[in-house]
Amino acid sequence: MVQGRKISGGKYHKQRKKKKYERKGHDRVVKLAERKTKFLRVRGGALKRVSLAQNTINIIKNGKGKIAKIKNVVETPSNRFLARQNILVKGAIVDTDLGKARITNRPTQEGHVQGILIE
């Protein structure tokens, strides 16, 4: 059976177009580079700061926060190709000044990168 066709061979037609809130936004990727952020207007008129590039990470160690420079993306369990391109996503393991850290937040949704040290 061909995708988008009825059993009889006729086409399925959309009943309506998507409304603005149903439309897909642009895919954002956070590269490992000098810090770059921008503000987006979200639903309700509020502003959200999103990252486009970051080179620092807020690391929590023994209940205290420290800022460290990110050297390299070592591994990304969700997609190994993202690590090759030095793209920062949640769950990625990065090499920092303080050691290896795992990113615990979603940098595409927030204006910063947070993580915890791993041994």
Q: What is the pLDDT along the chain (119 residues), one digit of tens a residue?
A: 578 889 898 999 989 999 988 888 778 899 999 999 999 998 899 999 999 999 999 998 888 899 999 999 999 999 989 999 999 999 999 999 999 999 999 998 989 999 999 97
pTM above 0.85, yes or no: no
The 8 Å CB, 24+ separation contacts for 24-30 are 28/52, 28/108, 29/87, 29/108, 30/54, 30/87, 30/88, 30/89, 30/107, 30/108, 30/113
74/79 Cα distance (integer angstroms): 12
77/97 Cα distance (integer angstroms): 22
71/91 Cα distance (integer angstroms): 16
Residues with Cβ < 8 Å from 53, sequence gap 6 or more?
30, 31, 32, 33, 34, 35, 36
Domain 28-117 has CATH 3.40.50.150: no
- The domain locations on the chain are 28-117
54 phi and psi angles, rounded to 5 deg: -145, 150
